[in-house]
Amino acid sequence: MKKYDVVIVGAGPAGLKCAETLGGSGKTVLLLERNEKIGPKVCAGGLTGKDIAYLNLPKELVEYSYNEVLVHVKGVTKQIKWDEDFAYTIDREELGQWQLKKLQVFPNVEVRTGCRVSKVTSEFVQFGDEQIAYNYLVGADGSNSVVKRYLGFTNPPQGIGIQYIIPTDQFQKFEFFFDPSYFSAWYAWIFPHRGYVSIGCGASPKVLPAKALQDNFHRWLKEQKIDISDARYEAFPMNYDFTGIEFGNIFLTGDAAGLLSSFTGEGIFQALVSGEEVAKMILSPGYVSPKIPELIHKHKRHREVLDRLIGAGKWLTALFLCGLLLFNFKKYREKAINLLG
């Protein structure tokens, strides 16, 4: 049985960043991806300013950038504008391929695709008939993480996102729609991309069952006169049930760790940071990450905000409208962007 110092399961942003950070070290690294190609992921493709800064992403990979977004609450629309760009869209396949290319200079990092891990033990992982032993194992395999399940965390993902990918350039604004009658405490979005647009929504099945969310979404699309006849439907789990990062010689990162925001649905930044910090923990046993506690703190803040919104009941629309009014004040806008971004 072949053995590596580090086996990373999942080549999304977290796994790729972890492998990059381990690149050039004295450790042998194997990065496993279940899909045949690295990059394509079911995702709305929205990024915040901190994502762009953290990645140091080349400008050519950014499809659209915005210093303003449109927020709609029950037919009331507010343009939220900032001094500099703070919302972006990217193509997930291009992002993944760009991250992958950065690994090519590291002889200690091996990448294998088409490897769906079906079994995890304390000594090895298995995909197909092959078993690979490890000293350290990193779960970067998303909301339905097989590594997370091995650790005993068997609760299903707490959220669900659904979207239509529509081949059109009709939509050019970055938009959010808050309407509790359709989406409870969550929202629908319109994120423009080159040659297509992502229009979707999300919620927790515990609050709004998946079938009800889908039905509401279709009614909303009809109300907005959005044509989905040529669209591709996609659905994806969202794991924001934070479980922890370090479990002996096994680590969880990004969505596998439940670091996704329960309110905004954003998870790429958390994936990047946790992937890098876990690599540092592996390289320097005893390393205490200053960034992981910050991620956990913001994760808890978002859960608190969401719980309050859900608890507002019939007053939820009024709360959203009050929030919209507060965006007239720069100090509040800054606080909101810092909290949600």
pLDDT digits (tens, 9 = 90+) for 11-24: 999 999 999 999 99
pLDDT at 327: 78
Query: Confidence band (pLDDT; 50, 70, 90) for 235?
Result: very high
Amino acid in the structure at residue 217: F
The whole-angstrom separation of Cα 294 and Cα 276 is 14
pLDDT digits (tens, 9 = 90+) for 72-85: 998 899 988 888 88
- For residues 253-275, give the mean pLDDT: 93
Measure Cα distances from 32 to 26, 104, 233, 259, 266 in Å. 19, 15, 27, 21, 24
Q: At what angle do helices 330-340 and 292-311 cross, to 10 degrees?
A: 110
Measure Cα distances from 78 to 41, 46, 74, 328 in Å. 31, 20, 11, 9
Query: In sequence order, what are the beta bridge partners of 159?
Result: 238
Q: Show Cβ contacts of residue 210 under 8 Å, excluding neighbours closer than 6 positions.
A: 160, 235
What is the phi-psi region of residue 169: left when phi exceeds 0, alpha when psi lies from -120 to 50, beta otherwise? alpha
Token pair in block for residue 334? 């800054």
Token pair in block for residue 316? 């939820």
The whole-angstrom separation of Cα 282 and Cα 134 is 12
- Whether the predicted pLDDT of 144 surpasses 70: yes
CA atoms within 13 A on the CB side of 202: 26
Top-tier CATH class for 2-340: alpha beta
- Whether the predicted pLDDT of 156 surpasses 80: no
Which segments within the chain are labelled E, that is strand? 2-9, 29-32, 46-48, 62-66, 68-73, 76-81, 87-90, 109-112, 117-120, 124-127, 130-139, 159-166, 175-178, 188-193, 196-203, 232-238, 246-247, 250-252
The whole-angstrom separation of Cα 281 and Cα 155 is 27
pLDDT digits (tens, 9 = 90+) for 197-234: 999 999 999 999 999 999 999 999 999 999 999 999 99
Provide the sign of the torsion angle of the four alpha carbons 156, 158, 164, 165, taken in this order.
Answer: negative
DSSP 161-210: EEEEEE--S---S-EEEE-HHHHTTS-EEEEEETTEEEEEEEE-TTTS-H
pLDDT at 41: 82
Q: Per residue in 129-140, is it b (16+ CB within 10 Å) or e — as a string?
A: eeebebebbbbb
3-state secondary structure at position 160:
strand
- Whether the predicted pLDDT of 42 surpasses 90: no
Smallest CA-to-CA distance from 63 within 171, 222, 203, 183 is with 171
Query: Confidence band (pLDDT; 50, 70, 90) for 139?
Result: very high
The whole-angstrom separation of Cα 58 and Cα 85 is 15
Amino acid in the structure at residue 124: F
Secondary structure letter of residue 153 according to DSSP: -
- For residues 28-53, give the mean pLDDT: 89
The whole-angstrom separation of Cα 327 and Cα 334 is 9
Smallest CA-to-CA distance from 221 within 166, 270, 172, 174 is with 166
